[in-house]
């Protein structure tokens, strides 16, 4: 049963995951929370690990959740399930694209839907961040300082440390020194 649930959940995530990695986070979060597959802390931790390891965040999350809930075959199943909808839809789009010879551009239905989805995706990403702003992630004032510093470093156009990997490593070092 767990295998079926895993498959359906990650198929759903792949099917409705518009807007790439960050936007997909809120979808994963909802599914994972619904079935109690991992705690909120574990979810944040795996997002952190995803940022410093190669590969798409969605694949990383699927593999991790699959393994922790149902072992090796669970990870194979979840990863396959998140890729499968892309395979079906993207292949159809590719066929249509080569057939219509790029005539998608200019179709008002197609273009306007894409434009509006971009705004919804903004909301999805914001909700992913908001859902994580809980006492389990923000344990004390130091957490807020780390949050503010990382946010400023990312937003500032010419900061010396704007790369996510560097920022995660630095905040990990800060955590080690402060909370050890």
Partner 1 sequence: MFWQLFYTYLKIGTFTIGGGYAMLPLIQREVVDRRGWIDEEEFLNMIALAQAAPGLIAVNSAIFIGWRIGGWRGVCGAVLGAVLPSFVIILAIAMIFSEWKELPAVEAVFKGVRPAVVALIAAPLFKMAKTAVGKRGRLLPLLLSLAAALLIWLGHVNPVWVILATIILTLVAVDIKERRRK
Task: State the minimum distance, in angstroms, from the CB of residue 76 to partner 1.
Answer: 8
Query: Within 10 A of 6 (CB to CB), how many other CB atoms are there?
Result: 24
| 75 in Cβ contact with 7 (< 8 Å) | no
Q: How many residues bind partner 1 (CB under 8 A)?
A: 104
Q: Measured in Å, how far apart are the chain's first and last C-alpha atoms?
A: 41
Q: Is 164 in the site for partner 1 (CB under 8 A)?
A: yes
Coil, helix or strand at residue 55 = coil
Question: Which residue bears the tokens 């080569």?
Answer: 98
| 162 CB-near residues (< 8 Å, 6+ apart) | 153, 154, 156
Site for partner 1 in 113-152 (CB under 8 A): 113-133, 137-139, 143-144, 146-148, 150-151
What would the two tokens of residue 129 be? Answer: 């961040």
Residue closer to partner 1 by CB (options 2, 117) is 117
Q: Which of 8, 53, 100, 103 is the binder for partner 1 (CB under 8 A)?
A: 53
Quick one: which of 56, 53, 48 has its CA closest to 21?
56
Residue closer to partner 1 by CB (options 4, 176) is 176
Task: State the minimum distance, in angstroms, from the CB of residue 4 to partner 1.
Answer: 18
Task: State the minimum distance, in angstroms, from the CB of residue 6 to partner 1.
Answer: 14
Q: What x-and-dash track marks residues 72-111 binding partner 1 by CB under 8 A?
A: x--x---x--xx-xxx-xxx-xxx-xx---x-x---xx--
| 149 in Cβ contact with 155 (< 8 Å) | no
Task: State the minimum distance, in angstroms, from the CB of residue 28 to partner 1.
Answer: 10
Quick one: which of 60, 67, 16 has its CA closest to 38?
67
Distance CA 176, CA 173 (A): 5
Residue closer to partner 1 by CB (options 5, 143) is 143
Task: State the minimum distance, in angstroms, from the CB of residue 7 to partner 1.
Answer: 15
Q: Which of 6, 27, 32, 81 is the binder for partner 1 (CB under 8 A)?
A: 27
Q: Which of 1, 21, 35, 99 is the binder for partner 1 (CB under 8 A)?
A: 21
């Amino acid at each position: 049963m767990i295998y079926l649930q895993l498959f359906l959940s990650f198929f759903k995530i792949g099917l409705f995951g518009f807007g790439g990695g960050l936007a997909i986070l809120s979808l994963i979060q909802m599914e994972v929370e619904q079935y109690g597959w991992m705690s909120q802390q574990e979810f944040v931790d795996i997002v952190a690990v995803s940022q410093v390891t190669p590969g798409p965040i969605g694949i990383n999350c699927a593999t991790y959740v699959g393994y922790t809930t149902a072992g090796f075959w669970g990870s194979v199943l979840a990863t396959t399930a998140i890729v499968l909808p892309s395979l079906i839809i993207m292949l159809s789009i590719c066929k249509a694209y080569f057939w219509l010879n790029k005539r998608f551009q200019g179709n008002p239905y197609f273009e306007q839907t894409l434009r509006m989805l971009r705004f919804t995706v903004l909301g999805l990403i914001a909700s992913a961040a908001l859902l994580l702003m809980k006492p389990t992630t923000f344990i004390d004032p130091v957490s807020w300082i780390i949050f503010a510093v990382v946010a400023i470093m990312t937003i500032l156009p010419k900061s010396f440390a704007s790369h996510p990997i560097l920022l995660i490593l630095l905040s990990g070092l800060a955590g080690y020194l402060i909370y050890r």
